[in-house]
Amino acid sequence: MFSDKLGEECGIFAGYSKNGDIAPHIKNGLLKLQHRGQESAGIATGDFTQTLHKNKGLVTEVFDDIAMKKLTGKFGIGHVRYSTQGGSNPVNAQPFLIDCAGGCVSIAHNGNVKKAMEIRDEFEKNGGVFVTSSDSEVLLRCVISDLKKPPDQWSFEDIGGCLKKDFPEGAYSLVFCLPNKVVAYRDPCGYRPLMLCEAKEGYFIASEDAAFDSLEVIKIVEIMPGEGVEITETGCETKNWAQCGSESKCVFEHIYFAAPASTIFGKNVYQVRFELGTILAKDDNIKPDIVVPVMESGFTAAIGYSRESGVPLETGLLCDLLAGRSFIQPTQEARVNKVREKFTPVRPAVEGKTVVLIDDSIVRGTTSTAIIKMLRAAGAGQIHVRLSSPMIVNTCSWGVDIPTKSELIAHRFGTEEEISRAIGADSVRYLNPGDLKAVFGESGWCYKCFMGDGFVY
């Protein structure tokens, strides 16, 4: 993916370990979710009381042997973060752990709740003080304020009632670790995914089912919109906490955010990306020598394009996976520097060749320009860019870090020809919005970022 693009709030992993401490299971789960957030990581564990460890950095950097030994207990929650609501300050790393009324509670959150900032303002007018700039802390402080009793007396229904009252709108999946209990909630419209796993080792919740790969899985189910889960030592129970609203599942989970091995909203990510790539290849009027993917999220679509067109797939861009996903960097300058660190063109593969470059989307266009310059410097001839999503013409209110409209290249230029000239490509072609809806369906999905104000495809 071009690094001038998107960021998504985070990944969460939580649950209960039947035998021994849960921290190693959480760490393994967060490693599988690292692609969802590389800015910071944290784990809170315990039984009646809890211990928290978090910091900026990758999972392997934050959780060394010393840190893991301190994280004891059979219950716990974990988080990997990219900042959308709340800045890139280390204090905003999650989970958040608060001692209150003779007990402790922690929270981790994936998504965005806009009303949280309004509620924060009201708290502060009445003398409330916040440690972070995150909406997750607002969520937790609201629940504490509403319930006014020790966390060991909080029920699943108590918390769900607070969410319905204080946050009737939002795109979130969130988990709480209470004394000897973990509870989780998925928002009524189902913007963000949440999965439940029963395994020999215990019961676990995660943003994606790929996070359960290190467990001896018995069963995996999707937590549906308006549903939640209560996990105790005696087992787990799925419950409704809010009436399911108009489902608006985020299509960018499949286009970019999720791991190819995951099945999100009932659709396998690899299969969807492969299909989008085959659609791009149909009726394409160019005759390239090679197909080059922009790793990682462009790779599967490139396989589909190559298979459909018969044009060979080449690794024309080496990708340093240890450099991390460039979209997750907190500033534009950092994103541009990251793409230079991450990608290296392979001259023997691209020199003198007509290249079709496959990626999932372009937002600002700044670092897409940098990648095309790299390939030209390596001797590539023509470069034709193909995107496995439609033009992004609108911002997002639900946790995807799409910039202001004035920054969107499709908003500024408007046509594929103008965008092609702006980024230095020989041509650019996006996926048709109708083709995207043919893959996902007309209803039940959020397509807002592909729709201009007052216009629906």
pLDDT digits (tens, 9 = 90+) for 356-377: 999 999 988 887 898 999 999 9
SS3 content of the chain, % helix, strand, coil (to 5): 35, 25, 40
pLDDT of residue 170: 81
Question: Per mean pLDDT, which range of 196-200, 311-315, 341-345 is the poorest?
Answer: 341-345
How many whole angstroms separate alpha carbon 186 and alpha carbon 177? 15
**pLDDT tens profile 120-139:** 888 888 888 788 878 888 99
Task: Give the residue-averaged pLDDT of 238-258.
Answer: 92
Q: Which two tokens stand for residue 431?
A: 């996926």
Pairing of strands 50-56, 40-46: antiparallel
Is the backbone of residue 51 left (phi > 0), alpha (psi -120 to 50) or beta?
beta
Cis amide bond preceding 333, omega within 30: no
Q: Does 323 score more than 80 pLDDT?
A: no
How many degrees, rounded to 5, is the angle at CA 265 between CA 88 and CA 246? 90
Is 10 labeled as catalytic in the residue annotation?
yes
pLDDT of residue 336: 65
Choice among 10, 142, 396, 449 that is catalytic: 10
Indicate the average pLDDT of the chain.
Answer: 89
Q: Does 198 score more than 80 pLDDT?
A: yes
Q: CA-CA-CA-CA torsion for 356, 258, 399, 167, nearest 10 degrees?
A: 150
Q: Which two tokens stand for residue 425?
A: 């490509």
**pLDDT tens profile 50-87:** 999 999 999 999 999 999 999 999 999 999 987 544 44
How many whole angstroms separate alpha carbon 457 and alpha carbon 120? 37
How many whole angstroms separate alpha carbon 412 and alpha carbon 376? 25
DSSP single-letter state for residue 254: I
How many whole angstroms separate alpha carbon 112 and alpha carbon 74? 29
Q: Does 186 score more than 90 pLDDT?
A: yes
pLDDT of residue 322: 58
Return the percentage of the chain with pLDDT > 90, whole number.
70
pLDDT of residue 352: 98
End-to-end CA distance of the chain: 25
Q: Which two tokens stand for residue 271?
A: 């299969």
Give the pLDDT band (50/70/90) at residue 191.
very high
DSSP labels for 167-187? -SS-EEEEEEEETTEEEEEE-
Q: Does 218 score more than 90 pLDDT?
A: yes
pLDDT of residue 335: 61
Q: Domains of the chain (ranges plus CATH)?
A: 10-247 (3.60.20.10), 273-450 (3.40.50.2020)
pLDDT of residue 456: 38
Give the pLDDT band (50/70/90) at residue 334.
low
Residues 140, 131 contacting (CB under 8 angstroms): no
How many whole angstroms separate alpha carbon 327 and alpha carbon 197? 29
